[in-house]
Amino acid sequence: MEHLINQRVKNIEISGIRKFFNLVADLDDLISFTIGQPDFPTPNHVKAAGIQAIEEDFTSYTHNAGTLELRKAATQFVQKKYDLHYQPESEVIVTMGASEAIDIAFRTILSEGSEVLLPGPIYPGYEPIIRMMGSVPVHVDIRNNQFRFTLEMMKPYITDKTRCIVLPYPSNPTGVSLSSNELKEIAEFIKDKDIFILADEIYSELTFEHKHTSIASFIKDKTIVINGLSKSHSMTGWRIGFLFAPEYLTKHILKVHQYNVSCANSIAQKAAYEALTAGINDAEVMKEEYNKRREYVYMRLTGMGLDVVKPDGAFYFFVKIPDAIPLNSFDFALKLVHETKVAVVPGSAFSEFGEGYFRLSFACSMANLELGLNKMESFFRQWV
């Protein structure tokens, strides 16, 4: 009966990140620099709010878009942090993580033959959804532009079929952000074009050089902002995301969300409210620690002579594999893990433009970073 399965589903593959992680996860004494999972616990006051929700039997369906108190907290959060202005009643949807928000956004705005511009390298969670919609992902090679998906880079790829441009900043896997001026240039260029922006800003609270700027502050009417609590409050398993967009968009996106999941987890919504109110600055402690790690890892990688762009945000380095190593990124990562028990993600997981690189996550202890980087340095000495 397998021949009856939707061909578009059959054609997509499991994420290269997960594929490699699952391949090496059972190795003993593994030092993993793979998964983008904060190594901090969910803040205690947020966990307490979830426990209280259970004890008070807050376990029923909520409004499809989420509780009004949480939607108000979410709009107040982005207003205070990023000067974004949305109506809580009609311009925000609480989703099952940022992943669901991306899914329902694409399913609402894309149709057969639509083209979506994506920077390459890029997180692998967008392309499969685009393809399942019968749309066409168009990757733009940004490797020689310090991984910056600027207007100059995207202009040659914009056609009359372009429906959406994806701006995932700070970026997974590179950690790079766009400046306010770069975002403004993009907004000015597309303001008179029938093109949406999908701004994936899940790492917006983890920026090191400058405060995060959202392109929605320049062009709200065409922008769908994706955010959530997974990275800012170390709440990956709680699965709470947010989709912000003008009402003319959310009223249709909400229909897709309703038939997909009905509503986000009610208990997690109570915890999310606590995170966005009492915990509005919870990310600061984590960010301070991440910044220390970022500086340390950058010093170590450059000290090994590796070609790397220092990240502006998130908790990743995207590192070029030295030319002296005659292996593709998957075989390199496999050899590294078998010889040193240090796991990184092969760059090929992030589109064809990630080939020749590897991603290193510094969302782990300083002790593991030091030990793992010592092993990596010994490994590289064999080749360079």
Return the amino acid letter for 97.
G
* Residues 125 and 226 placed together within one structural domain of the fold: yes
DSSP assignment of 179-193, as one string? -HHHHHHHHHHHTTS
Q: Same domain, yes or no, for 78 and 194?
A: yes
Question: Nearest CA to 45 among 360, 278, 327?
Answer: 278
Residue 23 scores a pLDDT above 90: no
Spell out where 169-302 has E strands.
196-200, 223-228, 241-244
Q: Are residues 48 and 36 in the same domain?
A: no
pLDDT band at 384 (very low <50, low <70, confident <90, very high): low
Decide: 243 and 105 in contact? Cβ < 8 Å.
yes
Domain boundary among the residues 256, 276, 296 is at 276
pLDDT tens string 257-306 = 999 999 999 999 999 999 999 999 999 999 999 999 999 999 999 999 99
Q: Read off the pLDDT of residues 256-265 as tens digits, 9 standing for 90 and up.
A: 999 999 999 9
Domain region containing 164: 44-276
Domain count, the chain: 2
b/e 321-345 (16+ beta carbons within 10 angstroms → b): beeebeeebbebbbebbeebbbbbb
Mark whether 185 and 290 lie in a shared domain: no
Statement: residue 36 has pLDDT above 90: no
Evaluate if residue 12 carries a pLDDT over 90: no
Q: Quick check: 138 and 117 in contact, CB under 8 A? A: yes
175, two tokens: 């950690």
270: which strand partners? none
Percent of the chain residues topping a pLDDT of 70:
99
Q: What CATH number has the domain bearing residue 330?
A: 3.90.1150.10
Whether residues 227 and 84 share a domain: the answer is yes
For residue 341, give the nearest of 20, 21, 26, 31 by alpha carbon: 31
Q: Which residues contact 274 (CB under 8 A, 6 or more apart)?
A: 45, 46, 48, 49
Secondary structure percentages of the chain, helix, strand, coil, to 5: 45, 15, 40
Hey, which bits of the chain come out as E strands? 31-32, 92-95, 115-120, 136-141, 162-168, 196-200, 223-228, 241-244, 316-320, 342-343, 345-346, 357-361
Q: Is the pLDDT of residue 9 over 90?
A: no
Is 13 a residue whose pLDDT tops 90? no
Is residue 77 scored above 80 in pLDDT? yes
pTM given for the model: 0.96
Q: How does pLDDT run across 224-254, given as a tens digit for each residue?
A: 999 999 999 999 999 999 999 999 999 999 9
Q: Please, which pLDDT band fits residue 22 given cuts at 50, 70 and 90?
A: confident
153-194: per-residue pLDDT in tens? 999 999 999 999 999 999 999 999 999 999 999 999 999 999
List the CATH number of the domain containing 241. 3.40.640.10
Domain match, 99 and 241 both: yes
124 contacts 15 by C-beta, under 8 angstroms: yes
Q: Is the pLDDT of residue 349 over 90?
A: yes
Last residue of a domain, one of 244, 261, 276: 276
